[in-house]
């Protein structure tokens, strides 16, 4: 017999919003199930029922901001790490804004409440860090089955055999779990290019250690269809509405 599931979970599975956002929309009466408004937290529905967000919820979503930061070494990605280091979010200030004519006058002085990193980047790594107020984007980038590629340039020291290069591509385990297939190739004589669809803690560094390589530098340059481009270290820019990961 089919069981009812929390409406907030169904909204998240449909990619319409995060579960936390769903609870907020339900409380505001901005969610319908088969055309009927539901406004009680914990409301349930069957998977076959039509679940929709109302226009008020979509207006709220459109106002949520997503930015790309070129994170420098020495900053942590999340607030809940070692407290002696500054979080990358502290760099999202008007002074660090990298202006573009494509932003059409957007104001870098915005309310950063709820702006959180969508994925980690180690304290000793640099490059592309996405911070967002939009649960849909966070889930797309870091959800359990995220389809989004993350590309890294990794400067290494040591010898790498063809067999170990193949192991980097597929065959390694971390914490007892087989890693998903990766694209790994030489970018130049001392730099590898990695393209991953997952992001375990210090994954690339640990992968390299397992094949006898020492990582000297690591930079994330792309997430999905968006690249770091010419964004200077320590600067940030808006992700524009027409841009899609």
Respond yes or no: is residue 122 known to be catalytic: yes
Among 122, 124, 164, 175, the one annotated catalytic: 122
* 207: phi then psi, degrees, rounded to nearest 5: -60, -45
Could you give the angle at the alpha carbon of 184 between the alpha carbons of 180 and 189, nearest 5°? Answer: 160
Q: How far apart are CA 68 and CA 72, in angstroms?
A: 13
| Structure tokens, 112 | 């950063």
Instruction: Write out the two tokens for 45.
Output: 């529905």
Dihedral, CA of residue 201, residue 203, residue 207 and residue 208, to nearest 10: -100
Classify residue 67 by burial, with Cβ atoms within 10 Å: 0-12, 13-18, 19+: buried
Catalytic residue annotation: 122
């Amino acid at each position: 017999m089919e069981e009812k599931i929390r409406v907030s979970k169904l909204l998240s599975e449909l990619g319409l919003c995060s579960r936390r956002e769903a609870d907020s929309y339900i409380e505001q009466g901005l969610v319908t199930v088969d055309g009927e408004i539901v406004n009680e937290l914990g409301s349930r529905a069957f998977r076959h029922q039509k679940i929709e967000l109302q226009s008020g919820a979509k207006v709220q979503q459109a106002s949520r901001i997503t930015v790309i930061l070129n994170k420098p070494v020495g900053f942590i990605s999340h607030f809940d790490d070692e407290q002696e280091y500054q979080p990358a979010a502290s760099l999202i200030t008007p002074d660090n804004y990298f202006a573009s004519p494509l932003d059409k006058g957007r104001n870098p002085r915005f309310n950063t409440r709820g702006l959180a990193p969508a994925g980690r980047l180690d304290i000793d790594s640099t490059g592309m860090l996405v911070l967002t107020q939009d649960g849909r984007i966070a889930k797309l980038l870091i959800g359990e089955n995220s389809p989004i590629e993350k590309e890294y340039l990794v400067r290494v020291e040591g010898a790498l055999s063809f067999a170990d290069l193949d192991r980097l591509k597929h065959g390694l385990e971390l914490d007892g779990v087989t890693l998903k297939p990766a694209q790994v190739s030489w970018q130049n004589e001392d730099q590898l290019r990695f393209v991953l669809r997952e992001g375990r803690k210090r994954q690339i560094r640990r992968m390299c250690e397992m094949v006898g390589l020492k990582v000297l530098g690591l930079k994330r340059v792309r997430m999905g269809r968006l690249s770091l481009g010419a964004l200077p270290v320590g600067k940030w820019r808006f992700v524009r509405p027409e841009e899609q990961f």
